Amino acid sequence: MRNIKKSIAFAAVSCLVSLAGAGGAVAQEQPKHGGTLVLGAYQAPRHLNGAVQSGMATALPSTQLFASLLRFNDKWEPQPYLAESWKWSEDGKALTVKLRGNAVFHDGKPITSEDVAFSIMANKANHPFQAMFSAVESVETPDPHTAVFKLSQPHPALLIALSPALSPILPKHIYGDGADLKSHPRNAKDVVGSGPFKLKEFVPGKEVVLERFDKFFLEGKPYLDRVVIQINPEDTTLLIGLERGDLQMLPFAGDPTVLRRAQSNKDIVMLNKGYEGIGAESWLAINTARKPLDDKRVRQAIAYALDKNFISKALTAGFAKQAVGPIISSSPFADPSSNPYKLNLEKAKQLLDEAGLKPGANGERFKMTIDILPGTVALSKNVAEYARTQLKKIGVAADLRTSADFPSWAKTMANHDFDMSTDIVWNWGDPVIGVHRTYLSSNIRPIVWTNTQSYRNDKVDKVLEQAAVEQNQDKRKALYGEFQRMVNEDVPIVYIAEVPYHTLVRKNVGNPPASIWGPLSPLDEVYLK
């Protein structure tokens, strides 16, 4: 039990956690009830059910419509939400959760342990993040307000997997009808959850309109009457709406042009807090199954050819922090000293010589293609163009390839039909959830955001397997430090920058979301001044 208590900030969890305040936001004044918060989003959700779909597009509305068992504050500490308390077994292979007695779904039906059991097992079967609940063998329901997670092995990532954006609790009486959960008609129409807001209207590609749920289980909340998510793929257009006051909040703003413009507007507050759990990194993914990229000396040469300090200062106007490894610096498991690569063109040339890639008469050693992740400029298109210029200096000719749209790029990656590509990938709180998927050899699959690099290292697999079950925080951190050093040695990925996400809000917005999940948190504490 002692070791379990030390596990990631989950570990602020002791043997029994009593009911406590739930948010991560810092109050600025006495909150007021009423008003409509209009929030801008540049990605359009296909549906609103976060139990079967990851990503910001779905999570923004899903976390308002569906409550989860836990939520987290800004210190990585789990807080009560639908669960009022939870308790680990001595061996770390069982978690007992006690539910609130006053929680109901939007249709008035009470939330019971049966709904919890159904939701967790449905998530396990349908969510793209298979590692979240892979250790959960069953969820027992000894009474309507008690759920017992039975695990095949200790799973220290479990608590953070119970966050709003990762495991919404669904009404079994609606989703347990035998229909395919991934295409269930109630994912987008007549959605019933238990979150602070209920669905009023969903116009795909345009907007999601949410209304206050008057029977929300947290007394007096939410403060807002409505939340309207307006969708527009042009972030500059969304910023104009914020400047005019048509929008009050613009989350996930990361383009340096947008950030510079917002920085100069006295009516806009820029918040870079609230993305620690999301942990977005920009990188260059390398297909390690293709020659000559299957030689780690070639991949190391690519890493030495790039100046991440230049990328941060020139391409992101200084807003982005340099990325140094597979785990983002805001994580409790980060090892900032694990990346040895600094700009060194001579070292890069030496490595290519050692790999037998001598320059030809035209100075060219080999050719390759760099694919560009659509929808981003500074940390995708511009990084690709910069990489092409730098690689030419060491005798590598790189052509740039653009995709017609995101699905086309995703298909290219899923088919492993690339040499190198820009990409942005999230850590998702615990490495088990968002990091392992990129490096485990067992996860080389024809699906985007898996191990599409075809990277194989038996020692890495073993260390990640150990870290996934290690209950002692210090030992777990040491294992992840070892993992980061091995991966940086092998270079299946060249880490570029930590995406400088900001939440931009008008000054009349109180309690903007500031937990580790930021805007992917319930907005029940946000109010308009």
| Residue 242, pLDDT above cutoff 80 | yes
**And the tokens for 61?**
């509305």
Q: Is the bond preceding 78 in cis, omega lying within 30 degrees of 0? A: no
Burial zone of 345 (CB within 10 Å; 0-12 exposed, 13-18 middle, 19+ buried): middle
Cross-strand pairs, 525: none
Q: What percent of the chain lies above the pLDDT cut of 90?
A: 89
Q: Beta-carbon neighbour count of residue 35 at 10 Å?
A: 16
| Residue 15, pLDDT above cutoff 70 | no
Give the range among 18-27, 43-52, 441-450 with minimum mean pLDDT.
Answer: 18-27
CB 380 within 8 A of CB 282: yes
> Residue 484's pLDDT band (boundaries 50, 70, 90)?
very high
For the chain, give the longest Cα–Cα distance: 77
Q: H helices then E strands: how many in the chain?
A: 16, 21
**And the tokens for 113?**
């342990």
**What are the tens digits of pLDDT across the range 342-384?**
999 999 999 999 999 999 999 999 999 999 999 788 899 999 9
Q: Domains (ranges, CATH) in the chain? A: 2-273+502-528 (3.40.190.10), 280-498 (3.10.105.10)
First to last CA, the chain: 45
Stretch 186-197: mean pLDDT: 97
**And the tokens for 378?**
């500074």
Stretch 395-421: mean pLDDT: 95
Stretch 120-138: mean pLDDT: 94
Of residues 354 and 447, more confidence is placed in 354
Stretch 471-478: mean pLDDT: 95
What DSSP assignment string belongs to 296-307? Answer: HHHHHHHHHT--
| Residue 19, pLDDT above cutoff 50 | no
Backbone dihedral region of 108: left (phi > 0), alpha (psi from -120 to 50 degrees) or beta?
left
Mean pLDDT, the chain, integer: 93
134-140: long-range contacts, CB 8 A cutoff, minimum separation 24: 135/469, 139/113
